[in-house]
Amino acid sequence: MKNIILLNIGLAVGHIESATEHLDPLTALRAIGDHLPSTQVKEWYVRVHPLTGEKTLVVRLATAIAGPNTLEPCVYDLCKATRQDCISGKLFVRNDPVHEFLTGSKAAEYGGAFDPTYWLKVTCDNAPKPVAETLANLMVDRTLGNWTLGKVQDSSDVLWFEHVSGDEACGGNAYLEIGERVSLIDYDSMFSLPLSIVTLLRQAGVEVDREFE
């Protein structure tokens, strides 16, 4: 399963402003398994949408599905199974353009097309931990997917990160500010910080601003 699907599934049942019921994320994950064939959940988190306040399930899936004509009817059925107005997502197939979509019976009420303004990336939200706990967490190398994060020796505020390939172009340093909490302030060597590193930092207790996603 070499293709990738990313999904954003709001957990409010019905319209966010009038919802009195919420979908359990584990129920949503089971529904994904039921309605998206040849698909495996690789990573998932529940995030609070900064624009709507809605809890949203963000999911990364490995899949054998290779085109939108196969995918979108499955997502439409997933909407019905989870009682969602619509679901947004992206399909990545090697050598093809990224396919972005908004699918569901009421997609037209939400603009009718994928809106990047409302898209949440597949990572966790900030959950800062006490400084001592965060620094202790960072003493141990942490790995997610193909990326590893570790502490630079003899430095409490500089971390290294690298890709499993060992390619020097796929790695760099992350710089922290230690005050009332531990925060990421900068990184080097890459155009954008790998999302897996954002996740590893947040899981350790580091505060990572959304601008780094």
Q: pLDDT category, 166, cuts 50, 70, 90?
A: confident
Q: What is the pLDDT of residues 36-93, one digit of tens each?
A: 999 999 999 999 999 999 999 999 999 999 999 999 999 999 999 999 999 999 999 9
Residue 18 has pLDDT above 70, yes or no: no
Q: What tokens were used for 3?
A: 């293709």
Kindly give the residue spans of alpha helices, DSSP state H, lying in 53-208: 68-82, 131-137, 195-204
Q: What is the pLDDT of residue 19?
A: 60
Q: What is the pLDDT of residue 167?
A: 77
Q: What is the pLDDT of residues 76-88, one digit of tens each?
A: 999 999 999 999 9
Residue 165 has pLDDT above 60, yes or no: yes
Determine contact, residues 166/119, Cβ cutoff 8 Å. no
User: What does the mean pLDDT of the chain come to?
Assistant: 94
Q: What is the pLDDT of residue 16?
A: 60
Nearest C-alpha neighbor of 109 from the set 78, 84, 82: 84
Q: pLDDT category, 171, cuts 50, 70, 90?
A: very high
Q: What tokens were used for 103?
A: 């699918």
Distance CA 144, CA 136 (A): 18
Q: Which domains, and CATH codes, for the chain?
A: 3-118 (3.30.70.260), 131-212 (no CATH)
